[in-house]
Amino acid sequence: MSTGRDGTGEKRLSRAVVVPVVCAAFAAGMLGAAFASVPLYRMFCQVTGYGGTTQRAEAAPTSVSDKQVTVRFDGNVAPGLPWTFRPNQREVRVHLGEKTQVSYHVENRSDRAITGQALFNVTPEAAGLYFNKIACFCFSNQTLQPGETVEMPIVFYVDPEVAETEELKDLLAITLSYTFFPVDDPAPIAATPKKEGSKGGSDS
């Protein structure tokens, strides 16, 4: 009898040790995931199109569908960024798989150079998986000099596979929306060398 009781006690003791260890390992794993959450989330969005995230492509398909869709364009500027930003075409009608180029008009209305970054999404969100950009100003930061005006192009296509999905087979229009945000701490500007004799003291 004593052996049975001792065996049960040993099992309980083992559980008492194992459970906290497993919980601690799980907590450590979650902490590591938290640090990696931003890049992982971005990767997840790019792969799945989640939240209207568009895709990147090297080239358009070789075949173009007879089916068409309207693509609308929207442009916004975040508070604190003194830029004018608007699409040059409010909408275009394109064939699925057709490579298309449009552009946005951007102007820096301030008296200083400013760097901005454009964030984007499409609606309906499910269409993000099929909206492919070949070239876009949103791929990198953009710096405009005081008063500078720029025409920024976008080259894209809508994947013909969108017509084969149950949710989007009757899709009539996609809206591509951009918002430009100011970027803190742009590329450092080289310091101006000091003139000789400017170190300390007065002009007396």
**pLDDT at residue 20 in the model:** 52
Q: Helix, strand or coil for residue 180?
A: strand
**C-alpha span between 75 and 102 (Å, rounded):** 13
> How many residues are recorded in the chain?
204
Q: How many whole angstroms separate alpha carbon 28 and alpha carbon 72?
A: 45
- What tens digit of pLDDT does each residue of 48-91 get? 334 446 688 888 888 899 999 999 999 999 999 999 999 999 99
* pLDDT in the model for residue 21: 52
| Residues 89-120 pLDDT 10s | 999 999 999 999 999 999 999 999 999 999 99
Confidence of residue 24 (pLDDT cuts 50, 70, 90): low
Check residue 149 and give its pLDDT.
98
> How far is residue 113's CA from residue 118's CA, in Å, rounded to a whole number?
16
Question: So what's the pLDDT on residue 57?
Answer: 83
For residue 124, say if its preceding peptide bond is cis, omega within 30 degrees of 0.
yes
Range 170-176 average pLDDT? 95
C-alpha 204/C-alpha 198 separation (Å) is 13
Percent of the chain with pLDDT over 70: 64
